[in-house]
Amino acid sequence: MYNAKAYAAPSATSPLASTTIARRDPTENDVQIEILFCGICHSDLHQARNEWSGVMPTVYPCVPGHEIVGRVTKIGSAVTKFKVGDTASVGCLVDSDGTCPECKQFLEQFCPNLILTYNFPDKHTGGVTYGGYSDSIVVDERFVFRVPDNLDPAGAAPLQCAGITTYSPMHHWGVTTGKKVGIVGLGGLGHMGVKFAHALGAHVVLFTTSPGKKDDALRLGADEVVISRNADEMTKHAGSFDFILDAVSADHDINAYLGLLRRDGNLCLVGAPEKPLAVSAFYLLFGRKSLSGSPIGGIAETQEMLDFCGKHNIAADVEVIPIQKVNEAYERLLRADVKYRFSIDMASLKSK
C-alpha cells in the first residue's frame, strides 16, 4: 500500500477537502496511473451528498470521480495492453467477475458483482474504492482504456462517463440517420448526447430550461432548440419523436416528454434524480410508448466510443478548474451553470 493525495467528502453535509488515502501497490494485472484530469459528474455530487441513500448509501470519507485520464507510471508483470508513459483512462467500473452471462456478453455494467470506481467494497484494501479526485489510481488493465492521441486529455476525461452513458443507449435503441431524437437538459451528459446524436446523423432537438444555452446547443450539433418551460414550443413537437434521452439531474415533468413521442417511441432515462419521477399511465398507453433507462456502458463499448470520438474528433466542452474549486463547481452544477463539464486539472492537487 502507498499513500495518495485526494479530495474527499467527510460527510453528506461538509465540503470536500484535501486528504490522504491508501491505494494498493500494483499487482501483476494492474496499471498505476498518474491522474492528469478528472471530470466532475453530477453523480459525484449525488453520491458525496448521499442523495442516493436508498440505493447506494455513501460511505465516508468519499472520494468521487470516474472520468479519469492520466499517464501510466507503473505496470504489473502480466500487463500486456499498456506500457509506462502511455495515456490511459478509467471510467465508472474498476472490476467485475468476468464469468457471469452479462460479462460474457461484454455487458459488465450489468454484472451482479461489478465494482464501481468509488464508494464500492474494495477487495484489495478492505475498505471502499476511491475515485479520481486524486493524484493516482491503480486499476486492473481490463478496466483501463486507450485514449486516442488526437483528443485533448481535459476534454477526453468526461467521455469515460458522460460520453459512454449517452453513446450506449443511442446505439442500443438505434439512433441513426432519419430518426428524430430529443435530448433533455444541456449539462455534461446532455451536451455529449447532442454531439453523438448529431454525429450519428439524427435530427436533433435539444430541450432546455436555460434560454441562454440556445446558441451553444446549435453550435454543438442540435438542429432545433426548445425552451421546455414554453408550452407552445413543446406542443409543436407533439407525437413526433422516435427517441428521447432524458439527462436531467433533478425532478421534472416527464409526462411532458412522453407526449412528444410518436407511436412506439421510447423515452430513455439516463438522469438519476434523487426523488422518484411521476409517470402518467395514459401517456404510455396511448401510442404504446416505452419508458426505459440505461446505465453507463460495457468495457468494449466504452473503448469503441473512445475510438469513435477519436475518428470524429469529439470531446467534451470543458471548463478546466483546480481541485480547490470543486465545492464551488458543485454549487454551479446545482444552478445548471456549467459549459458543459468541469474537468479538474489534477496538477493543482500537488500545490496542496
Ligand X SMILES: NC(=O)c1ccc[n+]([C@@H]2O[C@H](COP(=O)([O-])OP(=O)(O)OC[C@H]3O[C@@H](n4cnc5c(N)ncnc54)[C@H](OP(=O)(O)O)[C@@H]3O)[C@@H](O)[C@H]2O)c1
Contacts to ligand X by CB under 6 A: 41-43, 46, 161-162, 165, 185-190, 208-210, 213, 247-250, 252, 270-273, 294-296, 333, 336, 338
**Residues paired with 181 in a beta bridge:** 204, 243
Site for Zn ion in 111-140 (CB under 5 A): 111
Considering beta carbons, is residue 30 or 51 the nearer one to ligand X?
A: 51
Residue whose C-alpha is closest to residue 16's, from 55, 64, 57:
64
Rule CB under 5 A: choose which of 87, 89, 96, 119 binds Zn ion: 96
How far, in Å, are 39, 162, 294 from residue 313 at the CA level?
18, 16, 25
CB neighbourhood size of 310 (10 A): 18
Instruction: Decide: residue 54, CB within 10 A, 0-12 exposed, 13-18 middle, 19+ buried.
Output: exposed
Does residue 109 interact with Zn ion by CB under 5 A?
no
DSSP secondary structure code for residue 64 in this structure: -
Handedness of CA 120, 125, 126, 130 (dihedral sign): negative
What is the closest distance, in whole angstroms, from the C-beta atom of residue 62 to Zn ion in the complex? 14
What is the closest distance, in whole angstroms, from the C-beta atom of residue 157 to Zn ion in the complex? 11
Amino acid at 151: L
96's contact among Zn ion, ligand X, none, with CB below 5 to 8 A by partner kind, is Zn ion
Total site size for Zn ion, rule CB under 5 A: 8
Considering beta carbons, is residue 19 or 208 the nearer one to ligand X?
A: 208
Considering beta carbons, is residue 162 or 181 the nearer one to ligand X?
A: 162
DSSP string over 219-263 = HHT-SEEEETT-HHHHHTTTT-EEEEEE---S---SHHHHTTEEE
DSSP secondary structure code for residue 33 in this structure: E
Does residue 166 interact with Zn ion by CB under 5 A?
no
Rule CB under 5 A: choose which of 75, 161, 184, 192 binds Zn ion: 161
Taking CB positions, which residue lies at the least distance from ligand X? 187
208's contact among Zn ion, ligand X, none, with CB below 5 to 8 A by partner kind, is ligand X
Considering beta carbons, is residue 88 or 116 the nearer one to ligand X?
A: 116
Does residue 43 interact with Zn ion by CB under 5 A?
yes
What is the closest distance, in whole angstroms, from the C-beta atom of residue 51 to ligand X in the complex? 9
Handedness of CA 291, 295, 300, 304 (dihedral sign): positive
270's contact among ligand X, Zn ion, none, with CB below 5 to 8 A by partner kind, is ligand X
What is the closest distance, in whole angstroms, from the C-beta atom of residue 91 to Zn ion in the complex? 8
Strand-strand pairing, 341-345 and 30-40 = antiparallel
Considering beta carbons, is residue 29 or 210 the nearer one to ligand X?
A: 210
